[in-house]
Structure 1
C-alpha cells in the first residue's frame, strides 16, 4: 500500500459515524502474536453481551466477529503491522471491514469501539514528512506559517503597536525614542516566543528541514541577529533573508517562490514551476500538454508523459491514472484545494493535466 492508497481509505473511514460506540478500530504493531490479539477480541465480545440495547449489542458483536475472522487469516502480523476497521453505518445499514498493512510501521497497540473510526494514528503517514518554517517580520506585524508538501499553512498573524516618527525634541525625544525601541524589542520577543511555540515541536519530531525569514525592511535582520528564537531554530534559518512586501498567506507564497533556489526539490515549488510550464505550452499550443483521462492513459502507456498533476478527490478513475503513471516512471503530483490552481486543474481539465516528453499524434 502506498500513501495515496492510504489517503483514499482514510477519506472513506472519516465519512463513517454512528449514534453509538459500534465502530471498531484496532492497531496491531509488528511482533504482536496474532493469537493474543484474537483472545483479546474474544474477551471483548464476551463483555459486549452486557450491552442493553439490542441494536448496539448486535452491531458491536458483528464488528468484533468480523475483525477476528479477518485477523485469523494472518499467520503473523506483517512487518508494518495491521490496521483493522470494522463497523456498520446505521443510516445505510452498510457494513464494512477494512484490514491492511500501512506504508509505515505501526508503533502502537490500540483497540476501541467508538462513534467514529480512530484514524489519527495513520494521519502522519499521509502527510509530507518534510516541513519548512515560514516567518515574515515587520516592525509591528508578523506572520508565522509552514510549508508542507504542496500546502502553505498560516499558523498565526500577529500585530503590535510600535509608533513611528514623533515631533518631540530634547530630553522628551530621547525618552520617547527609548520607549519606542523597547516596544519594538518586546514585539520581536513576542514573535520569537510564538515561533518557538509553533516550530519547536516539528524540530523535535525531526520534520523541520529549514526556515525562511523575510519582510519588507530592517526588522527581519534585527530578528535574525537578536536572541529572539531558540538557538536550534536559528541554525535552520536559510540565507539570504527574503525581501517581500506582503503579510499573511500572500506574503508566505511570495517568500516561498522567491526562495525557489533554496527549495528546488520541495513539492510546492515543483508544482508551481510545472503549472507555469503547462500554461506556457498551453499558450504556445505546441502539443506538449495532455488532458482527458483516456488521452492521458494512452500517453502513459507510450511512456510519453513526463509529469502529471492530479486533483485529489474520491474519483476511482483519477486514482487509477495516478497508479498507472507512477508505474511508468511519470512524476505525479496529487494536489488538493490548498493549491490555488487546483480548481483550474479540476474544472478545466477534468482533474488531470500533464506535460509530455515529446509530441504524440
Structure 2
C-alpha cells in the first residue's frame, strides 16, 4: 500500500496506541535496493531463534508476528523505489492483532528490524514532520503574539504583554522626561519580544524547517520593531516583504494576518483551506448551485469531473479513498483540520465532505 503523508500520520497515530508487556511487536524497515531474499533469510533466522523464548505466550506472539512478516514479504518480488515498512503484532491478552505493510512517501533511510514493547515509528515520524513552516509575529507597543503555520495547522506558541502608559500632557521638562521613560519601556518590551521570537524561530531555521517569517500588527509598531535589531539578523533575512495590518492579538489576530497576507502565503495549505472554507460558506448562503455535499452527490460530481476543490475532514476513516478519487478526476483535495476555524462545524454539519464546483449545476 503506497501512502501519502496525511494517511501516514493516521497510521502512525494508530501504531503508537500499541503497548505490550513483552518484546512482541515487530517493526521492519527495508530501504530500496535491498534484496528481498536477504530480508526473508533474516526473518526465517529470527523465527528459528524465537523457539528458544521460554514464556509460551510471548513465544507464540513473536512467532506469529514473524510468520506474518515472512508471508507478506514472500509476495513482494522486489523492494519498491521508496522501500518498504512492515509492522506486525498482537495482544496476547485480548487476541487483537495488527499487520501493516506500506510504501512510505519518502525513501526509507535504513535497514531496521526489531521486536519490542512498542512499534518503532520514529523513521516514519521524520517523514511527516513539517518542513515548510511559516513563522508568525504580531507586534504592538505593549503586546505580541508568536505563532507557527505548519501545513494546515495554526499554532499559537506564546503571547506576551506589558503595561505601557499612554502619552500624558505634562509640559516642559517633565513631559520630555516622561516621554523618555515611556520610550525606554517600549524598547525594553521590544527587546523581550525579540528574545522570545529568536528562541522560537531560530532552532527551526537551523533545522531547515522555517521558510519565512510574516510580521504584522496595528499602526506603526511593527515598523518600529523591525527597524532595529531586536530580531536575529538571520531571521530578518526571511521576513516576507509586506507587513500586515491586524487589529487583534492571539489566535484571532494570527488568523486575520493569514487571511490578509493573500499571495504572500498562497502556497500554504492552511491559508488555502481557510479561503476554500469561506468560499464554500459563501456559495452555501447564496444557494447558487456551485457546491455539493452528501457522499453520493459528491461522488457523482467527482466522477463527472465537476469538482474543482474537494474538502474533506482529516478524521474521516475513508479519507485515502476520497483523496485518490479527487486526484484521478482532476479535483484539488484540501484536508480540513478541526483546528481550522469552522473545521468542527464542517465535520459535524456536512460529515466532513463537500465539493466546490467548477460550474453551476442544478441537482
Match of 1:238 among 237, 240, 261: 240
| Aligned twin of 2:329 | 328
| Aligned twin of 1:310 | 312
Q: Distance in 1 between matches of 2:59 and 2:170?
A: 79
Going from structure 1 to structure 2, the CA distance change for 1:76 and 1:325 (only over 3 Å counts) comes to closer
Once the two structures are superposed, residues 10-64 of structure 1 have per-residue CA deviations (whole angstroms, 9 ceiling, x without a partner) of: 3432333323332222223223444544455456556655655332232223223
| Aligned twin of 2:120 | 118
Going from structure 1 to structure 2, the CA distance change for 1:44 and 1:207 (only over 3 Å counts) comes to same
Structure 1 gap ranges (5+): none
Once the two structures are superposed, residues 72-126 of structure 1 have per-residue CA deviations (whole angstroms, 9 ceiling, x without a partner) of: 4445432212211111134541222212221111223433333332223223434
TM-fit CA distance, 1:238: 1.2
RMSD across aligned positions (CA): 2.9
How many residues were matched structurally?
Answer: 360
TM-fit CA distance, 1:178: 5.5
TM-fit CA distance, 1:348: 1.5
SS at match of 1:86: strand
Q: TM-score, normalised by structure 1?
A: 0.87
Q: Distance in 2 between matches of 1:91 and 1:136?
A: 53
Going from structure 1 to structure 2, the CA distance change for 1:165 and 1:320 (only over 3 Å counts) comes to same
Going from structure 1 to structure 2, the CA distance change for 1:360 and 1:73 (only over 3 Å counts) comes to same
Q: Distance in 1 between matches of 2:123 and 2:169?
A: 59
Once the two structures are superposed, residues 230-257 of structure 1 have per-residue CA deviations (whole angstroms, 9 ceiling, x without a partner) of: 3221111113212222211111111111
Match of 2:267 among 265, 268, 274: 265
| Aligned twin of 1:342 | 343
Q: Distance in 1 between matches of 2:170 and 2:335?
A: 58
Q: Distance in 1 between matches of 2:164 and 2:136?
A: 23
TM-fit CA distance, 1:336: 1.9
Whether the 8 Å CA contact 1:130–1:208 is kept in 2: the answer is yes
Going from structure 1 to structure 2, the CA distance change for 1:176 and 1:37 (only over 3 Å counts) comes to farther
| Aligned twin of 2:253 | 251
Q: Distance in 1 between matches of 2:287 and 2:244?
A: 36
SS at match of 1:116: coil
| Aligned twin of 1:282 | 284
Q: Distance in 2 between matches of 1:345 and 1:330?
A: 19
Q: Distance in 1 between matches of 2:173 and 2:54?
A: 81
Structure 2 gap ranges (5+): none
Output aligned runs, 1:144-293, within 5 Å: 144-160=146-162, 162=164, 164=166, 181-293=183-295
Q: Distance in 1 between matches of 2:111 and 2:218?
A: 50
SS at match of 2:264: coil
Whether the 8 Å CA contact 1:21–1:113 is kept in 2: the answer is yes
SS at match of 1:262: helix
| Aligned twin of 1:142 | 144
Going from structure 1 to structure 2, the CA distance change for 1:144 and 1:108 (only over 3 Å counts) comes to farther
Whether the 8 Å CA contact 2:61–2:92 is kept in 1: the answer is no
Whether the 8 Å CA contact 2:31–2:83 is kept in 1: the answer is yes
The yes-or-no answer on 1:299 pairing with 2:301 is: yes
Q: Distance in 2 between matches of 1:48 and 1:233?
A: 54
Q: Distance in 1 between matches of 2:26 and 2:178?
A: 65
SS at match of 2:265: coil
SS at match of 1:137: strand
Going from structure 1 to structure 2, the CA distance change for 1:174 and 1:277 (only over 3 Å counts) comes to closer
| Aligned twin of 1:103 | 105
| Aligned twin of 2:355 | 354
TM-fit CA distance, 1:196: 2.5
